[in-house]
Structure 1
Amino acid sequence: MVDSSDLLYALRLCCLALLLSGWAYLYIQKRYQIQADKAFSQEHGCEPIRKRLPYKWPLAIDILKYQYDALMQGNLLAYQADYFQRVQVGHTFEVKLLGRIGYFTSNPKNLEAMLQTNFDDWELGSSRNPLLPMIGRGIFTQDGHHAWKHSRETMRRQFARMQYQDLRLFEGPINDMLAYLQSFTGVIDLQPAFFRFTLATTTSLIFGEPFVDSKKIDDETFAENFDYTSLVSAMRMRLADWGWVYNPSRYRTACALVNDYATMYVNHALQDVKENGEEVATKRHPFILDLFKELQDAKLVRDQLMNAVNRPPSNASARRYSLLLKTGGMVTRAQISKMTYLRCVLNETNRLYTQIPMNIRTAKRTTCLPKGGGPDGKSPMLVAKGVGVAFSAYYMHRSKEVYGVDVDEFCPERWEGPELKNIGFAFMPFHGGPRRCLGSKIPNLLQCNRLVSKR
């Protein structure tokens, strides 16, 4: 008869052997990866990165705290730009947050390599997981050749159609906004009004019916919750793999509400098909019903709608829609194309208030960036597999090397000369490369639409 103590001893030995084998395997794999990375680095002339973001508290919690405080005050981007200047970390530097090493860059050469030249070396990774509660699985949160490319092609057709939308669609939201502004006397904060206007025109384009037609969910309630979920999602993205930690109950409730809002439009469009036929309904809800034909799933349609609507509100609205084009009638595309100074105004607005101010990519395989290594930061630098690189168009658009010493000034005239004609990825208001924003031409049409001054 076998002694139970012998069985227990044998079991312990087996467990120990398995643990040691697993550790040995991981160690060998790690050593192999280090050697492979070293060989790759030598082959491409990479040098170690010298610039590092300083921190005082363990795990760099002080950096996260200051970012959170700035985010709640509505000036995160300005705070970061000022902080990077004060600590003199340059345009590419190492960041160590919560024990994980990553990098930050605003060098145009690096952005071109990540977003275009070496596009296949990079992926979204886990950086988009914090966005899932708000916008679900759509074009902004998908990776891979099948899922992302399929969504991209599906959405591209919709935005191509929207580019030729009748500009009179915006007359209602414009009139509503002007009527709202005329009800005030003295100083008025324009940003809330322009945020509502942006949301109204966006939902009109995408959902196929005016924003003001929403009855089940109050307009102000939706706008407030949409703004709040955007704010919290921005902080969750900065926490990356730790984004799940910051999940307040109000955020969960707000995400449910904004998703219910989109679901309401999807259900309304599908009900319209049943009651009035496909031809009539498609004229009213072309975006939604074309997506449904392709996806055949109401939830997937809702997620893609939320991805399309989700463009972070910014102070850009105040300048973007304040241009009064007194042409005596509806502005046509032919007229818009001849307004050269208007183009300068739009470029300057998009420079200072870019639509996608920050983003992140994760190395799908060990790769390198052309700038950031060595004492002067001008040599290539290695980025190991699985390491994230954050990048900021907001910070890059304030580069004195590219735009001059008056980078913080609103100066459309800087675009009139030849100096900024071929600056490539140094001007990137709508992202760049294969993942360039599909709706990049739509905002320009909105920007150029008529705002008639009613006295």
Structure 2
Amino acid sequence: MPVPAVPSKGFLGLIRLLDVLKATREERGPQQFVDAMDELGGKGVFHTSRVESMKSVPIGLGLFTLRGEPWRHSRAVLRPQFSREQISDLELQERHVDALTTSLRTGSDGWTNVVDLQPMFFKMTLELMTEFLYGQSPAQAGQETGALNTQEFGHHFDAGKVWINIRSALGKWHWLVQPPAFSRDCKKVHRYVDYFVKAKLEKGGEQSAKQQMPHDMPKREKFVLLDELATRTRNPLEIRSETLNILAAGRDTTASLLGWLFYFFSRSPRIYDKLRTAILADFGTEASGVDFAKLRSCRYLQSCINEALRMTAIVPILERESLEDTVLPRGGGPDGSKPVFVRKGQRVLISTYALQQRSDLWGDDFESFRPERWDNRNAGLEFVPFGAGPRKCVGQQFALTEASVSHF
């Protein structure tokens, strides 16, 4: 059977487009997607999009925007950056978490003042990922030059994403939206990364980031993506795009996850107290007792993280493209139980948010933050916060480790 399609509303589908943009502005985009599908009777609905609308994105061509052989090459280059050896060394995460906690002011009563943690999480994850990918943090590189303004990067990157959403929603009409503001946002984002790329190419690809570290930092031989790329190509645009793909993902997803975790904890003192008790029981009062293996074995901490990922779906929609004409076993017919034909080149949007909010999979309390639902549960494909298959997020364990360390 042919695939069911999203019906247009208004001239060129502008009414549906405006609905999507309004929901995005009000920060309820994933729920709007679910509501739209419910409006269509709960059917599996396929929506086509065009990669051309994404070609001018700030992050350029890299792991998340390439397909086919170029994508396989990109993933192979990136894989050592996220090896078990790399992510099990917690010194980097601990140092940046310590910097965040040190910046919190304590009042005379011994408690920290009321503060908006979300911008601090985004700043921390950006600086951590910068050092992870480029071998040095903005502060180490000399932020007084003005070239590495993390706040400016964040502002223009977030503004650029708004334009990307608009262009993507327009599909084949994306070329109608190319405002000067979008170009300006892209340039500011590129400027941040170009600082590191230019410095590396000028000094030579053979110089490792370890040589640029301050004298008081541990002398470890680590894989640094910038160093590796500089030995493979002298094209600054290619290096910028490859690293910026990972930098952007590492900043946004982990910062969002941390924000949601603390949001849920603030509304459930019982869960927070239970987590605190579990952490003290497993690790004691000294942070020196924390290591990668113990983090993974702290079951209630991992349950809290999994539940936040389930509730919020940090990446609420995944996209897959059919490489050849194929037939899916379900999705067609009035009730979605019949096979459905997907032609070569057609893209399928998968709402992980909707998948992880289904009462038949998660129980009638699926809207409640309840980490205990993960007791003795090994989730399958009903829980895919980092995707699944060959394109599963290569940085999954790094993100989970960073989120775990941030609770100490």
Q: Which TM-score applies when normalising by structure 2?
A: 0.81
Amino acid at match of 2:246: A
1:434 equivalenced with 2:386 (yes/no): no
Sort the Cα spacing of 1:183 and 1:75 in 2 relative to 1 into closer, same or farther, 3 A.
farther
- Of the three residues 142, 148, 151, the one matched with 1:220 is 151
For residues 3-42 of structure 1, what are the structure 2 equivalents within 5 Å?
none
- Of the three residues 43, 63, 78, the one matched with 2:16 is 63
- Greater shift after overlay, 56-65 or 269-278? 269-278
1:356 equivalenced with 2:315 (yes/no): yes
- Of the three residues 173, 176, 187, the one matched with 1:256 is 187
Superposition deviation, residue 400 in structure 1: 1.4
| Distance (Å, rounded) in 1 between the aligned partners of 2:207 and 2:76 | 29
Amino acid at match of 1:168: E
Sort the Cα spacing of 1:270 and 1:166 in 2 relative to 1 into closer, same or farther, 3 A.
farther
The equivalent residue for 2:236 is: 298
Q: CA RMSD in A?
A: 2.9
| Distance (Å, rounded) in 1 between the aligned partners of 2:127 and 2:210 | 25
8 Å Cα contact 1:207-1:285 kept in structure 2 = no
| Distance (Å, rounded) in 1 between the aligned partners of 2:122 and 2:407 | 15
- Of the three residues 44, 50, 62, the one matched with 1:92 is 44
The equivalent residue for 1:11 is: none
8 Å Cα contact 2:200-2:230 kept in structure 1 = no
The equivalent residue for 2:292 is: 333
- Residues 87-128 of structure 1: CA deviation (Å, up to 9, x unaligned): 153251255xxxxxx4xxxxxxxxxxxxxxxxxxxxxx8436
Superposition deviation, residue 272 in structure 1: 4.7
Q: Secondary structure at the match of 1:445?
A: helix
8 Å Cα contact 2:2-2:341 kept in structure 1 = yes
**Runs of 5+ unmatched residues, structure 1:** 1-46, 96-101, 103-124
Amino acid at match of 2:226: I
Superposition deviation, residue 396 in structure 1: 1.2
Superposition deviation, residue 162 in structure 1: 6.7
8 Å Cα contact 1:363-1:386 kept in structure 2 = yes
Superposition deviation, residue 178 in structure 1: 2.1
Amino acid at match of 1:292: A
- Larger Rg: 1 or 2? 1
- Of the three residues 130, 147, 157, the one matched with 2:54 is 130
Superposition deviation, residue 204 in structure 1: 2.1
- Of the three residues 328, 337, 356, the one matched with 1:378 is 337
1:449 equivalenced with 2:405 (yes/no): yes
Q: Secondary structure at the match of 1:163?
A: helix
The equivalent residue for 2:67 is: 143
Number of residue pairs matched? 372
Superposition deviation, residue 52 in structure 1: 5.5
| Distance (Å, rounded) in 1 between the aligned partners of 2:205 and 2:324 | 49
Identity of aligned residues (%): 27
Amino acid at match of 2:199: H
Superposition deviation, residue 414 in structure 1: 0.8
| Distance (Å, rounded) in 2 between the aligned partners of 1:163 and 1:432 | 22
| Distance (Å, rounded) in 1 between the aligned partners of 2:363 and 2:138 | 41
Superposition deviation, residue 404 in structure 1: 1.3
Q: Secondary structure at the match of 1:62?
A: helix
Sort the Cα spacing of 1:48 and 1:219 in 2 relative to 1 into closer, same or farther, 3 A.
closer
| Distance (Å, rounded) in 1 between the aligned partners of 2:259 and 2:33 | 22
| Distance (Å, rounded) in 2 between the aligned partners of 1:277 and 1:362 | 38
Sort the Cα spacing of 1:448 and 1:368 in 2 relative to 1 into closer, same or farther, 3 A.
same
8 Å Cα contact 2:256-2:314 kept in structure 1 = no
- Residues 314-366 of structure 1: CA deviation (Å, up to 9, x unaligned): 74221447776553123101211321122211211221233422132333332
1:173 equivalenced with 2:96 (yes/no): yes
- Of the three residues 217, 224, 233, the one matched with 1:286 is 224
Q: Secondary structure at the match of 2:27?
A: coil
- Of the three residues 148, 157, 169, the one matched with 1:238 is 169
1:82 equivalenced with 2:20 (yes/no): no
Superposition deviation, residue 252 in structure 1: 0.9
Superposition deviation, residue 388 in structure 1: 2.6
Amino acid at match of 2:393: C
Q: Which TM-score applies when normalising by structure 1?
A: 0.73
Sort the Cα spacing of 1:279 and 1:346 in 2 relative to 1 into closer, same or farther, 3 A.
closer
The equivalent residue for 2:75 is: 152
Superposition deviation, residue 81 in structure 1: 2.3
Q: Secondary structure at the match of 1:141?
A: coil
Superposition deviation, residue 192 in structure 1: 1.8
The equivalent residue for 1:198 is: 125
Amino acid at match of 1:431: G
| Distance (Å, rounded) in 2 between the aligned partners of 1:199 and 1:336 | 22
- Residues 160-187 of structure 1: CA deviation (Å, up to 9, x unaligned): 2773353121234223322444379765
8 Å Cα contact 1:273-1:280 kept in structure 2 = no
